[in-house]
Amino acid sequence: MRQQVVCFWLQLKILLFSPFEGFLAVVFPLMFATAALLVYQVNGDPAAMLYAGIGAAAMGIWTSQTVSATTLVQRERRAGTLELVVAAPTPFSLVLLPITFAMAAIGLYSVVATILWDWWLFDIALQVENWPLFVLSILMAAVTIALFGFLLSVSAVRYRTSWALGAALEYPGWLLCGFVVPLDLLPAVLRPVSWLLAPTWAVEGMRAAAAGESPWGDLAICAAVGLAYAALAAWLGVRLITSARRDATLALT
């Protein structure tokens, strides 16, 4: 436990000093949220603006995970530390977990930043009926996306170009999780994919809490999907590290 907390704190420090994770991971989704809201603003329907504003707030969590989590292992490789952390007796999963949570913390920061920004630039004052549940939903989004990022970073150990794949997940995730677009608009074939993504449920929960409805059903599914990610990642972690040791892909840059 102590290891998790100290590692979380030190990794957060690394991220904050990094112009990429500490600055871009917040600004990038913020600007995409802005672009989306600019489109919504053309018609100026306040209900639609509020709908988009709530989802746009959470876009940053997704970015901070998919992009950063897959570049994470690449970064360790480049610094030459990947081999060292793998050679440590602590299981590799327990090394990665606090890092992904440090990223989720950056994601949470971006949520607050986006809400303030939207309020300042677009005059969107979030009308939330049930603040505690709304915050809980955001936290659920952060945690489950962190677990998804954990899954991604584990797979990145073995496949060294996975950072490019991770970066390519950013836009589809924004679309498929329904951050700024109602899922009903998407082709029906894509719906099962959305269901498999935990953030979809967290965003639903956020909207429900904001509207004063019960988010518990959505949050329960969200938690279940998130746990499935964690289990899958832990299982893959052992297998992929072994295979990286067999195929000598740890040291490659």
Partner 1 sequence: MTSARIFFIGGLMSYRALFGWMNPWIFVPSLLVSPVCQILLFAYIGRSAGVGDDEFYVIGNALNYAAIPCMFAMTFTIGGERFAQTLGLVLATPARRIPLFLGRSMPVIANGWFVAMFGVVVGSMLLDTDIPGSAWPLIALVVAVGSLASTGLGLVMGAINLVYRDGATLGNVLFLVLLIFTGTNVALDDLPGWMAAVGRWLPLTHAIEASRMLADGAAWGAVSGLVGTELLIGVGYLAVGLSAIRVFEWLSRTGATLDRI
Partner 2 sequence: MPLTETPAVEARDLRRTFRTRQGALRPTRRTVEAVRGVSFEIAPGELFGLLGPNGAGKTTTIKMLITLLIPTSGSASVLGRDVVGDVREVRRRIGYVFGGDRGLYERLSGLDNLRYFSELYGVPPREQKERIGSLLELVGLTGREGERVEGYSRGMRQRLHIARGLLHDPDVFFLDEPSIGIDPVGARELRATIAGLREQGKTVLLTTHYMFEADELCDRIAVIRSGEIVAEGTPTQLKQLVSAGRVLEVETYGVSDDAVEVARGTGGVRSVVVEDRGQLQVLVVSCEPGAEVTQHVLAGLDGTRVGRVSHRDPTLEDAYVELVTR
Which residues form the interface with partner 2 (CB under 8 A)? 2-3, 6-7, 10, 13-14, 17-18, 79-81, 83-91, 95, 242, 245-248, 250-251
Is the separation of the CB atoms in 172 and 73 below 8 Å? no
Maximal CA-CA distance, the chain: 58
| Residue 34 vs 93, nearer CB to partner 1 | 34
CB of 135 to partner 2, least distance (A): 30
Q: How far is the CB of 131 from partner 1 (least distance, A)?
A: 26
Q: Which is nearer to partner 1, 27 or 232 (CB)?
A: 27
Only one of the segments 141-149, 161-169, 194-202, 225-233 lies at the binding site for partner 1 (rule: CB under 8 A); that segment is 161-169
According to the binding rule CB under 8 A, does residue 185 interact with partner 1? yes
> Which residues does 48 contact at the CB level (< 8 Å), separation at least 6?
40
Decide: 198 and 229 in contact? Cβ < 8 Å: yes
| 248 is an interface residue for partner 1 by CB under 8 A | no
Pick 79 or 164: Cβ nearer partner 1? 164
Tokens of 36: 């989306």
Q: Which two tokens stand for residue 245?
A: 């040791």
Q: What 3-state class would DSSP assign to 109?
A: helix
Task: Establish if 161 lies at the interface with partner 1 (CB under 8 A).
Answer: yes
> Where do we find the tokens 């040791």?
245
